[in-house]
Chains A and B, each alone.
Chain A
Amino acid sequence: MTTTIITTMTMLDDFLVRAGLAGVGTALAAAPLGCFVVWRRMAYFGDATAHAALLGVALSLAFQGPIILGVLATALIMAFLVMGLSGRGLAEDTLLGVLAHAALAFGLVSVSFLSGVRVDLMGYLFGDILAVSKTDLAIIWTGAAVVIGLMLWRWQRLLTTTLNPDLAQASGISARVEQLVLTVALALTVAVAIKAVGALLIGALLVIPPAAARPLARTPEAMAILTACVGVLSTLGGLGLAFELDTPTGPTIVCTATGLFVVGAVFGRFGRTG
């Protein structure tokens, strides 16, 4: 027992093991949520929320608070802003385009104001999974556990609302509450994923694995599980490739996921015609 614990603790001293664990945690959190992002056509919503995270980083550094809280807060504020402003004249994609890019731009500008602090901007934009600390790991896995728990708890209701809000309402399910659940889960996932893939590529991690899994799945549950597999495979594979080829890890993870998306599309086509 004690030896196992000791071995585990020593394993955690290896930065590659920590990186792998961080990637797996992130992928698992992103999987069920990513499915809903795809099913509900929320891809740009995910982007806007993720880009707002950078502003959160700047604010946390300015006020010397924990980064995770700043990211969580700005991601939540952005998500509620989108929810509040949608359906008020502007087309949804235009509104999200404005907010997503504005959040990114304001984030970049506010980081530049932080003259006193040395900020690894690239690390927050593209992730810095190789620099994950044990504390980061604890945050990532706690966040992932909360997101997955939330998704499991509300799964049936979320699916019903996704199908049709009125159908849900007739069964006594509040579409607004479920939307809220997804929004909170999204903000949490962004906060968890910023270390692994960075603010710019969180959207990719949300959308590409479910898109890869879609052609191979026959039920929502199968799709969520397949998405998790694709996500884990992408992060671990991408990590290995980045180490081998000496490329930036975040983008390499996304490239690997895209490769799996192509494989899924090809196999899905064979499965349908064959």
Chain B
Amino acid sequence: MRLITATDLTLQQAGKTVMRNVNMHIDRGEIVTLVGPNGSGKSTLVKGLIGALTPQSGQVERLRGLRIGYVPQSLHMDGLLPLPVRRFLCLPHRHGADAIARALDEAGVPDLGNTQMRALSGGQFQRVLLARALLMGPDILILDEATQGLDQPGAAAFYRQIADVRSQLGCAVLMVSHDLHVVMAASDRVLCLNGHVCCEGTPDVVQDAPEYRALFGSGTQGAFAIYRHDHDHDHHHDHDHA
């Protein structure tokens, strides 16, 4: 079943066309990754897909009542707004204490409920954002460069958490990334972006596509295998509790 379908989608940001004639879709339970260099329009496309940006032309169709668990690139918390994690998780919908505890646990940060948002470390912050997305009971998780500011092991642990969560919830995942070797192997489909969709397919296909090579070179090839996702093993990873 199609969750989100984009047809001939063209998007503008600040008066400039950033994405041109995108045709894409995400099905139930699928993992789709958007890759592309900085400024290639990845985040713009995500904004178009969630409806935060009105298309210049073309259209986006979302399944009726689609629940989107959105984990943004970064949230700027400047300390003007006092906000404990527990309260943050109740925006915009309030949840019971049990549900909140469960979501924090699933996201790997069980003890942070009473911490102020601005006191969280980068890794904790992303996990709290994940917990909020989980509370929505999402049909699809959308992660926009969710590991920005995390180091390599931190990012890898975060993506393993996502894979865990997904195998429990069975939701679709749309990821945006430029750290390809961490992400690509777990994806069902990869779309390589540079102002338009350059190429798409399974990770192996995209990896070997000349368009992808032209954008990224072949330097990261060796690293693909390292984080290739494996469904059969247990996950023993440590979290960054401060």
Q: State the A residues within 8 Å of B (CB).
A: 38-39, 41, 87, 156-157, 159-160, 162-173, 175, 214, 217-220, 222-223
Contact = CB atoms under 8 A, between A and B. Distances in A.
Contact of A220 (B51, B82, B93): B82
Contact of A171 (B68, B90, B116): B68
B154 interface: no
Contacts of B80: 38-39, 41, 214
A39 B116 CA distance: 15
Given A166-B72, A169-B52, A175-B52, A219 B87 contact: yes
B81 interface: yes
Contacts of A165: 52
Contacts of B110: none
Interface of B: 14, 47, 50-52, 68-70, 72, 75-76, 80-84, 87-88, 90-94, 116, 136, 142
Contacts of B84: 218-219
A170 B70 contact: yes
A222 B70 contact: no
Given A157-B92, A171-B68, A214 B75 contact: no
27 contacts: A39-B80, A41-B80, A87-B14, A156-B93, A156-B94, A160-B91, A163-B81, A163-B83, A164-B72, A164-B75, A164-B76, A165-B52, A166-B70, A167-B75, A168-B92, A169-B50, A169-B51, A170-B50, A171-B70, A171-B92, A172-B51, A173-B92, A214-B80, A218-B84, A220-B81, A220-B83, A222-B82
Given A156-B94, A163-B83, A218-B84, 9 more contacts: A162-B81, A163-B88, A166-B47, A166-B70, A169-B47, A170-B50, A219-B87, A220-B81, A223-B82
Nearest to B94: A156
A65 to B, nearest CB: 38
A261 to B, nearest CB: 14
Given A169-B51, A214-B82, A217-B82, A156 B91 contact: yes
A221 to B, nearest CB: 8
B87 A220 contact: yes
B72 A167 contact: yes
Contacts of B83: 163, 219-220
A186 to B, nearest CB: 18
Contacts of B70: 166-167, 170-171
Contacts of A156: 90-94
Contacts of A172: 51
A63 B14 CA distance: 41
A168 B50 CA distance: 10
A40 to B, nearest CB: 9
A210 B51 CA distance: 33
Contacts of B47: 166, 169
B63 to A, nearest CB: 13
B50 A159 contact: no
B208 to A, nearest CB: 34
A160 B52 CA distance: 14
Contacts of A220: 81-83, 87
A159 B50 CA distance: 19
Given A39-B81, A214-B80, A166 B87 contact: no
Contacts of A173: 92
A171 B75 CA distance: 16
A38 B82 CA distance: 12
A37 B142 CA distance: 30
Contacts of B72: 164, 166-167
